[in-house]
Amino acid sequence: MNQLGIWLLISTALLAGCNQAMDNQPRYEAYEAAPQWEDEQSARVPVPGTVARGDEIGPPAQTLPVPLTKELLSRGRKQYEVFCTPCHGATGAGNGMVVQRGFPAPPSYHIERLRQAPLRHFYDVISEGYGVMYSYGARVRPSDRWAIAAYNRARQLSQNAKLSDLTEAQREGLKRHAQNSSPEKEESAQ
């Protein structure tokens, strides 16, 4: 065997012994007890300030950072139904299913204080919690928090709108709609 062959054999043997795979190091399996931690849990809470992959880094905007669109409100409605309806109810009156089962009622979104609150208030409450409401910061993405806040504001406006808030064309459209769906028309159609 020549000198090159010997070096190749030695190099191959050395490289075979250098297995740096992560599966060879000490670690915990998912949900395994960890006696060296105070709570004995191997699943650790992320460090404060941890940013999820894909989330924006930096302070959140003070106002809605994206255009207000039908798609944004639709997304906000879907997320509201998933995360908020159990406590706040479908209309935001604070009468969700868990409230009907004895949990403390949250305030209605339609009280004056919350109608006057800036949109950022709703974003912050979703992010950090408020009163007995715990934080949804780890459950709801920042973009969805803004969508929920926008949907809440739209619902507040719809529940507390006055006829004087509408343009003349919108008032005429409402009158036509009311005439087309009046009870007399429904009875005569039967």
- Percent share of the chain, pLDDT over 90: 48
The low-confidence residues of the chain, meaning pLDDT below 70, are 1, 16-23, 182-190
- Express each pLDDT in 12-24 by its tens digit: 877 766 666 666 7
Query: How many angstroms separate the Cα of 39 from the Cα of each of 33, 47, 56, 124?
Result: 9, 16, 32, 29
pTM of the model: 0.63
Domains of the chain: 68-159 (1.10.760.10)
Give the per-residue pLDDT at 65: 92
